[in-house]
Amino acid sequence: MSSPTTCARAPAPHEAIRMDLDTEVIKQRLTALKSEHRDLDDVIAQLARSTATDQLQIQRLKKRKLALKDIMARLESMLLPDIIA
């Protein structure tokens, strides 16, 4: 018996629309995360300039900022096409 072979096929029209929607959702989420990341930069800078600096709060904000950066990197990688080397 021969094994079935799989071949690459073009996505069906409804699949292409779904992929476009998924891409748009990812892009929108990425935009929101980038905005939050920039906002955290501003808040951290303000707190650092403050005389009554709460180091624990700054540390938590920096940790959140790093988590956002990780999420953004994962989303950006989802937008890149797979390249077979």
Tokens at residue 43, please? 């808040």
How far is C-alpha 34 from the chain's CA centre? 8
CA separation, residue 11 to residues 8, 19, 37, 75, 78 (Å)? 9, 9, 35, 22, 17
> For the chain, what are the domain ranges?
14-79
Q: What is the pTM of this model?
A: 0.68
Q: Is the pLDDT assigned to residue 5 strictly greater than 80?
A: no
Instruction: List pLDDT tens digits, range 20-66.
Output: 678 899 999 999 999 999 999 999 999 999 878 789 999 999 999 99
